[in-house]
Amino acid sequence: MSRLNLRRLEIFQAVYEQGSVSAAARLLNITQPSVSRMLKDFELDLGFKLFELERGKLRPTPEADHLHGESVPVFSQVAHVAQVVEQLKGAPEGVLRVAVAPYLGYDILPKAALRFADSYPRARLHLAIKSLGDQRNALKQGRIDLGIAMVPQAVPGISHQTLGKGAFVCLVPEGHPLESAAVIAAEDLERERRITGEAGSPLVRALSRNSGLDIEQDKPISVSSSYLVARLASLDRSVMLADMFTAAHCRGRGSIRPYERQIEFNIAVQHLSIRSLSHMQRVFLDYFTEAMSEFMRENNVYPTPG
């Protein structure tokens, strides 16, 4: 059986339509000896001649005429597929539905979304703010394509990939006695009213496990909005442990100080396991990761002790 492939057909088609090996070589941007060698190997493998040399010119054989007629539709379809690939890569169409956790939705998400929209104006982007649990429900129900949050562990049917890391810092109200402290210790926070994010959320559970404080046990004030957490702390003049993104946004209402224990958390994208990430989704995640890195650099949200 002859080894028929698109590259050999491409060489044959170029010689057939250009009328010479040299012209085909220029069209394909390869050397003339390479074209001659591949064409000769193709003829040997086929078992019949494709061209005859008459008066210094190549003349296609009847077999070549027939093969060319059959190969034209093939290359038309290849060209169509190549065009589709370029459209998908350069200007995707369709809908992308993304949900992020509240602390990522105020500065990072808008920047990523606008960059994506500028690059791919024909794509429709739907954005939402949802907790981790709500994101997973929406993924399973087909209401979103991507969810971005602190993901402590995998669940069946949903895959996740880490995009970066966050950390907790202390937000100290202006004029508070701890405003000049280089580092905030757990014993400092024992005297403060507990104001935290949503009870039972991954962030609050991470704080409860690693902060040295009984955050989930001492009946704190818990709210689902990062803005509300910061506003409550400001009005109450209480020092609060906050994720770096919320703290950076609220910096105008106080100072950021490192906590004695560096408590980090992973920020990850999650999607249904049965679906791999599309090119359009990967591009959006590149913009999101870029915006997240820029935000952390610009805001210096985790000052080093000392």
| CA angle (66, 72, 76) in 5-degree steps | 165
Q: Where are the domains of the chain?
A: 6-90, 96-163+269-299, 165-264
96-163+269-299 matches 165-264 in fold: yes
Specify the CATH number for 96-163+269-299; select among 3.40.190.10, 3.90.950.10, 3.10.20.30, 2.40.50.140: 3.40.190.10
Which residues are paired to 123 by β-bridges?
94
pLDDT digits 0-9 by tens, 174-215:
888 888 888 888 888 777 766 666 666 777 677 777 676 666
CATH tag, 165-264: 3.40.190.10
Structure confidence at residue 248 (pLDDT)? 77
pLDDT digits 0-9 by tens, 141-176:
888 999 999 876 778 888 999 998 888 888 888 888
Structure confidence at residue 233 (pLDDT)? 66
Structure confidence at residue 276 (pLDDT)? 84
Helix, coil or strand: residue 229: helix
pLDDT digits 0-9 by tens, 222-238:
666 666 766 776 676 77
Tokens of residue 263, six digits: 């408590």
Rounded to an integer, what distance in angstroms lies between the CA atom of residue 288 and that of residue 252? 24
**Structural fold of domain 6-90:** Arc Repressor Mutant, subunit A (1.10.10)
Pairing of strands 94-100, 146-150: parallel
Length of the chain: 306
